[in-house]
Chain A
């Protein structure tokens, strides 16, 4: 289960905030990865996510996300210079395959590496959302839009740990057989078991009145200070990121020659991202999260 993000309630500002706000905060951090390819800004975004994760008490879980994301990043880094032949700085002179030359350039390699880092930023930010935002509460927001789809998604999040446990059990049972069974037989049986469980869950849903379900009523909750802080931070992160992008801050040119701006604006942008991400968790009361009384 280490490599599957699982939500666990914790007393932190992020966990205590309303789900829409907490999800928006995490999404604003992912947006930085989508908008920028500048190494300093991406490093700032990663540091910002880690600061938020540490503030929410899920630093270790987010480190697990890095283990999942890094192979993807490596893959992008390797594939990009093989696909893009642009760039003037030749690193490796490749051969000719099917009439096409395969050379590896410094520019394409750096572009691939930075694209990989962007992937890491987005995965890690969404991982933070998965481990710190209650999926039931989050999906309840969508139930007003598309009830059945949102409920199906809720069931899927519920089934992930259940099926993981089922798979572990089946693997143990396979080890207990005198002759280990073929993988196909185990896979088929696992699938059949998952289908059986799905039928049981469908019956349980029917018994909870699923057939009568309509659009749930809107809940009106007062805004807590965590909601206000996280919303403010999310709005500022989005505004800063979009404004910087429009203003051309942290621009990167890969081809034909590498050109990466490294000046005060980029440094300020990276530092501001970190400060804004950490700000909602500043102060003892925010770290304690859950209101007393």
Chain B
């Protein structure tokens, strides 16, 4: 057995001014060349553990640490992030804050210059890293012109340019669309398999990275609750922490099937092994809602001066009480459409008809929170709706991402009831518990008569929340039907359960009902 890269023994850490530890009695070892996923709901301690391994805790954040945590033999209590950077590359969550220089080339050169490498070695390392990590075509670009996915790849390249043995990533895909997220996981897998880099990655969307992982460490309330290979972790999660189970695992678990699959491929193989055919004819699409639209877009064009055409004569009517998922690839026009509906931008041609106030929550909820106390942002009723009744005195910046999102939603909903509520990518970086809570709140708004539109890449959320899916492409509607029709028959826009059941069901709950019917031999 190789000497562990990371060794922790009874490591406990408390942030400055915190009353509870951020990490409690953590003991673990991470060997070279392994791929480990850190799982846990928001606030469980994943980020703190990563920040401890890279030395930011306690050297950058301050606070008190007890116990022992060492990386490549260096104790993190004695060695700071500068020392540990030689063996440990780190990429944090927000791509925009990961890149410190104006140009990609300079970004890759910086860690080597800090390490005192001579110019020849710097040039060679930059060239090799850029080629190996697929960012060579970005070397001459300015960092402020890169997409989120490109920025994150550049951040990984900068973290890897000194060829550390260990790469730490804190929810690196949370701010990316699914395609960019999948590409990133593929890149990490390649780093791990081809170059033997040990990867430790915190992630909410476990279905994306479990197929690459050899081990999962789950944290609950700042402690390690499970440390096992993916299959064993899924069994534990199904029984003890359902919020952490992947859709495929939940499908099998609820249907009473074992073993739980770590990937769609394993799930399909499992069904074939059990001689189960999950397919059934798709349910008929619901009849279109009738009545006067709450919000209508008629033949709307958005044409950027000296730029591209974003929307091309788009027409869409939203009825009161409808729950609509607005989907499409990056650049399809989703964000432009919700801004148009709200009135943040005007159509160059066509018109938007609103029967009442329209509430819009954009992608960064923190932008809506302007005061020192949560209680100053909204009234008591709004705080209660956000589930923050007891936290009126809390500074909004100290709230978790999910709490900030709920509070920001109540901020835009204040005043008279909205005819339409629009949310732009609200589930980015959210764990399943918070997604379920958001879906519930959206359901309540729709029940109260608002048309609720969520622009999202998240097919699992769309399947749970929506009763209608509108798919945009090239600025026009390319599909507008029930979730089962759009996501069940989709190739890219599809849920894991739909892939496993060939589009017969979208969610684990529906899929499990279907499988149980098959298991019982009942007619479909």
Contact = CB atoms under 8 A, between A and B. Distances in A.
Interface of A: 6-9, 134-137, 140, 143, 154-155, 157-158, 161-162, 165, 169-170, 172-179, 181, 185-186, 188-189, 192-193, 196-197, 200-214, 216-220
Interface string B133-165: 000000011111100000000010011001000
B85 A208 contact: yes
A172 to B, nearest CB: 6
Contacts of B113: 143, 213, 216-217
Contacts of A135: 102
Interface of B: 54-56, 59-60, 80-83, 85-86, 89-90, 92, 94, 96-103, 105-106, 110-111, 113-119, 140-145, 155, 158-159, 162, 339, 342, 344, 357, 359-362, 364, 366-371, 397, 411-412, 414-415
A154 B101 contact: yes
A213 B106 contact: no
A111 B422 CA distance: 59
B56 A208 contact: no
Contacts of A172: 339, 344, 362, 367
Contacts of B367: 169-170, 172-173, 189, 193
Given A140-B106, A176-B359, A211-B81, A206 B56 contact: yes
A207 B119 contact: no
B357 A178 contact: yes
Given A161-B144, A207-B81, A220-B119, A186 B370 contact: yes
14 contacts: A7-B142, A9-B141, A134-B103, A157-B102, A158-B143, A176-B359, A178-B412, A181-B370, A189-B367, A197-B97, A203-B56, A207-B89, A212-B82, A217-B116
A10 to B, nearest CB: 10
Contact of B412 (A169, A177, A205, A218): A177
A204 B98 contact: yes
A155 B362 contact: no
A195 B145 CA distance: 22
Given A158-B143, A158-B144, A212-B83, 20 more contacts: A9-B142, A140-B106, A162-B144, A165-B144, A170-B367, A172-B339, A172-B344, A173-B364, A175-B344, A176-B361, A189-B370, A202-B60, A207-B56, A207-B85, A208-B110, A208-B114, A209-B114, A210-B114, A217-B118, A219-B119
Contacts of B155: 204
Nearest to B357: A178
What are the 3 A-B residue pairs with the smallest beta carbon separation, nearest first? A211-B82, A200-B97, A136-B106
B368 A177 contact: yes
A177 B83 contact: no
B36 to A, nearest CB: 19
B344 A176 contact: yes
Contact of A179 (B55, B94, B98, B415): B415
A192 B397 contact: yes
Nearest to B412: A176
A173 B368 contact: yes
A206 B60 contact: yes
Main secondary structure, interface of A, reads helix
A97 B303 CA distance: 56
B422 to A, nearest CB: 9
Given A161-B144, A176-B359, A213-B113, A204 B97 contact: yes
A29 B202 CA distance: 53
Contacts of A211: 80-83
Contacts of B115: 209, 212
Nearest to B118: A217
Nearest to B86: A209
B102 A7 contact: yes
A212 B114 contact: yes
A141 B92 CA distance: 29
B140 to A, nearest CB: 5
Contact of A200 (B94, B110, B118): B94
Contacts of A217: 113, 116-119
Contacts of B415: 178-179
B360 A176 contact: yes
A197 B98 CA distance: 10
A257 to B, nearest CB: 50
Given A158-B143, A181-B370, A209-B82, A203 B60 contact: yes
A271 to B, nearest CB: 36
Contact of A137 (B90, B106, B119): B106
Contacts of B140: 9
A256 to B, nearest CB: 51
Given A213-B113, A213-B114, A188 B82 contact: no
B106 A209 contact: no
Contact of B100 (A8, A155, A193): A155
A201 B100 contact: yes
Contact of B92 (A9, A169, A197, A204): A204
Contacts of B101: 136, 154, 158
A154 B114 CA distance: 15
A205 B100 contact: yes
